[in-house]
Structure 1
Amino acid sequence: MSSRVCKHCGSSDIDVDQARGDAVCMGCGSVLEDNIIVSEVEFVETGGGGSLAVGQFVSSEGGLKNPTFGDGHFSGMGSESRAQTLQRAKQHINTLGHQLQMNQHCLDTAFNFYKMALNKSLTRGRKSDHIMAACIYLVCRTEGTPHMLLDLSDILQVCYQCSAVKNDFKF
């Protein structure tokens, strides 16, 4: 039983079967809903040791005509998350660059390097501060500014000789 009302006959006797994933009016037999999506999320392990969400993404507006599975689950939500990531990166790059007294052209170029690294998935498994600093350092080398890696490590308060930091500065 449910508190729903059939739009065909007005009956409130609705049978919701979670196993079949449908809702049927017991008065007139109309199928009111089918392919009802459960609120549970299931993760499976991939061959490379990662994890992957399995299921359908359902938009709150109901505008998704062709739901997708697996990696597609993240595609509907990923654009919003990516925009936030890029916004935070731009702010952080600008903050770091202003501490080094870099001009806006250099900061924009560093942000473009960050976007390229993000698109090529070179940011996964690395600290975002280190990636952004590496992008700034890349601009320093290509534009010939007088900044050194030591300057960036001082601002980030990390040891630039530490192996983890050195590895993050290599793409």
Structure 2
Amino acid sequence: MIVIVLRDMAFTSRGDALALPRVHCPDHPDAILVEDYRAGDMICPECGLVVGDRVIDVGSEWRTFSNEKALKDPSRVGDAQNPLLNGGDLTTMISKGTGAASFDECGKPKYQNRRTKSSSDRAMLNAFEEIRTMADRIHLPAIIIDRTNNLFKQVYEQKSLKGHAHDAIATACLYIACRQEGVPRTFKEICAVSPISKKKIGRCFKLILKMLDISLDLINPGDLMPRFCSNLGLPKPVRMAANFIARKAVELDLVPGRSPISVAAAAIYMASQASAQKKTQKEIGDIAGVADVTIRQLYRLIYPRAAELFPPDFKFDTPIVKLPQL
């Protein structure tokens, strides 16, 4: 869209009101306007008046230097090449012939439409599309998609997981990429956006870790706390208190061997019950993907030491002695 600010305009055609207007300076109509390419302005050289702004540059998208070869064509045609594909994502298409010379004496076409893309590239393209679809469903950034594509390419080229569905491998690679990039998602969240069963994804996950010799850091309850509290609509003080409770519970060894997701859910429940924004076990369980009974079990483990778990500056709406005793 071109937005031009003018004081005056004159039509170049002879009485044709539909012709394009000629931009000129109202005080110096015969002056040749100068275009400022950096700012996109049309400036009158006589008085410096800006008679047009946000002008679109219709020139080339490249620069030509004196030491470059004259035969080099800098024009770009088509989409950018994909470095993960062996053929550079290039294809050759031959259109269907219509004349008599396009068919042989038997009536068969002489020129068949052929693609230079190999079967492996087509398989990886389908997997990349599935990865992008799953990542978009749970709002993952582009860096996660790129790492997942690289992981899938490594697994596919080693051919060690033959017999496993490509969708299961792609889902497992997506979960690994989230862990590696510090954007943790629960296993249930990843499985929820995939058409493959949780059992098959878990099997591929273990095989990929062993095959590529990948070691993943353990998930910390604090990594999941901001997203869970944000989805629950809890304010920052409650989130900070829940994070403090989860960290102290782990330090005091109150929840040995428990899942960090369950620990985070129990800490959020305790912090919310002590604040004005109280959340039920079902509300927290639906967001965290944890059963209500699991939250109650962990809450019973940390409740006897509740006085040691809350941060010193936390403002209680419900005192500790009146917290639910499940």
Question: What TM-score do you get using the length of structure 1 for normalisation?
Answer: 0.49
Kindly indicate which of the two structures has a greater share of residues assigned to strand.
Answer: 1
Instruction: Normalising by structure 2, report the TM-score.
Output: 0.27
Higher-RCO chain (CA-CA 8 Å, sequence separation at least 6): 1
